[in-house]
A and B are shown apart, each in its own frame.
Chain A
Amino acid sequence: MQPDDLTRVLAPKLGENLLGVEAFEGMAGRVRFRREAALDLFRAVRDDLSFAHLSMVGGIDWVDHREVFYVAWSDSARQYVLLSTDVPATDAHVETASAVWPSANWHERETWELVDITFDHHPDLRHLLTPDGYAFHPLLRSFKIHEPEELEVKTRHV
């Protein structure tokens, strides 16, 4: 499957919300889309292009905006496809993919807590890896890495 094949199927469904399909080494292609059309795109990719298996959901913080990317696999084409959309940093939310692919559930929870991208209508948006109530989003570029502060060493009370 080539990027042109993806465009041919997706363009009529998404219209102007499809921002383009680029070639990507080792994949069917990289589909850029506007977040408004997320659900339509997911359904089209799953049903019309038979990418039934969602492997990965991740987020990247590009400081001025954030990117959400999805990787899906098709058993008939034996290929991956990469879907990505940009969301503004001030209003980072996108429609959940877990209604289309149940496997997106935990990946989106992780992306929500680490990259601070909210997934609308997610069934169970709780903390997964960080403790409950953890107020930080470590994978943002503004979260700096530094040496740990000194803590008191516990000794045995005799």
Chain B
Amino acid sequence: MSEMWINMGPQHPMTHGLWNLRVRIDGEVVLDVDPEMGYLHRGIEKISEDRHYNEVVTLMDRTCYVAGLAWEHLYILASEQALHITPPERAQYIRMTCEEFQRIGSHIMWYAAFVNDIGLMTPFLYGMRDRDLVLDLFQSFTGARMTYEYMRVGGVRNDLPPTFTDQARKVLDWLTDRFREYDQLCLGSSIFHKRCDHLGVLKANDCIAHGVTGPMLRSAGVKRDLRKDRPYARYDAVDFDVAVADGADVTARYLVRMEEMRQSIRILRQTVDWLEHHPGPVMAEHLPRWLGAPYAPVGREGYLLKRNYAKGVGFSAVEEPHGEAQAYVVNEGTEHPYRVKFRSPIFANLSAARQYLVGYRVADIPPIMGSVDPCIGEVDR
């Protein structure tokens, strides 16, 4: 068979989203790849310019739809820096709790999609089943399963319900057992090791040169986690380890993500304990009225009075489930951000696709791309 280009996407079971991987193959060997993005480009950075600070939160949920709360957190941190607002401590703990639960939810979603890529059908269903527990927990205090609109500049929208801590502990206990089962289903199978060991190798130097972050970087042995290296919210107050592996291959990424979920459970046990014993306000005081409204359904018309408050530039970086996400918010003294710029970790991880795909086989593309965990919403924005 001579060389040929095949389009894997935009409608292809491998893609987990809307993108096109153009692959040049010779027989079954991959010679070259060219990711083609932009099929889900919704112009979020542009329409943010037309929205209030709190209204942009709505878009953040949809930017990365499997890690909505992490992206809300990212944007809120940058906005608060740009607007010179400090949230109360309880709000910070609630945000941490949200982010860690979101990390578990996102990683379970990754697990479900990834095992489906290597042909395991049952764990997909198990993953979706267990993820629903996390979503139910979110639903108990945000009212939504996936798009929460929960965080606000200066705090969070509402406090947690009184039953939250008990439910959260139950979910954590259940998940601890289930992760053992997940490992049995994957690592216990020699076919899994045959498929995933020494596959999609991206060494630490290449990772750093191509801007790859998150579990992919940690799987190459680089111990970088923004929660440790540049603590935001109250991550300096909780105790956890950074998950690292050596292989730089698909198995290593699997191990890193599974370990991260266990560490998230460890963090969550601490934050849930803290939340149980420290009631308090969840919204900063002395906010401008349009920012402080707890349910913040601020229409454009009623609040367009020109106010005079300090300009500023905000920058935040968050260890999102997929890697390092960054936001850059420019505040020019109006109700709308002047410019919002986001850095998506998967954007960088996918841009290095040529480094970790070329030389492998067509059958290896789904596991490798599955281990990258692409979420196209945040790539295209």
Contact = CB atoms under 8 A, between A and B. Distances in A.
Q: Is there a contact between chains A and B in the complex with CB atoms less than 8 Å apart?
A: yes
Contact of A106 (B43, B45, B317, B351): B351
B38 A128 contact: yes
Interface residues on A, range: 35 or more
Interface in A5-51: 24-27
Contacts of A58: 328, 341
A105 B229 CA distance: 26
B315 A60 contact: no
Nearest to A100: B209
B92 interface: no
Interface string B308-333: 00000101110000001010101000
B115 interface: no
Contact of B45 (A82, A101, A131, A139): A139
A138 B38 contact: no
A55 B16 CA distance: 24
Contacts of B212: 103
Interface stretch (B46-54, B95-103, B258-266, B276-284): B46-54
Contacts of B41: 129-130
Contacts of B351: 103, 105-106
Contacts of A61: 339
Contacts of B208: 52-53, 75
A128 B339 CA distance: 20
Interface centre among A71, A101, A103, A105 (most CB of B within 10 A): A103
Contact of B209 (A60, A69, A79, A101): A101
Interface centre among A26, A56, A78 (most CB of B within 10 A): A56
Nearest to A53: B208
Interface in A122-152: 127-131, 138-139, 143, 145
A61 B46 CA distance: 12
B222 interface: yes
Interface centre among B50, B208, B341, B343 (most CB of A within 10 A): B341
A127 B41 CA distance: 12
B71 interface: no
A112 interface: no
Given A60-B339, A69-B328, A106-B347, A26 B210 contact: no
Contacts of A79: 230
A126 B127 CA distance: 38
Interface of A: 24-27, 52-56, 58, 60-61, 69, 71, 73, 75, 78-80, 82, 101-103, 105-107, 114, 127-131, 138-139, 143, 145
Given A55-B213, A58-B341, A75-B222, 4 more contacts: A26-B81, A128-B38, A129-B381, A131-B38
Q: 7 closest pairs, A vs B, by CB?
A: A103-B211, A129-B38, A56-B343, A106-B351, A58-B341, A129-B41, A78-B229
Interface of B: 37-38, 41, 43, 45-47, 49-50, 81, 208-213, 222, 224, 229-230, 313, 315-317, 324, 326, 328, 330, 338-339, 341, 343, 347-348, 351-352, 380-381
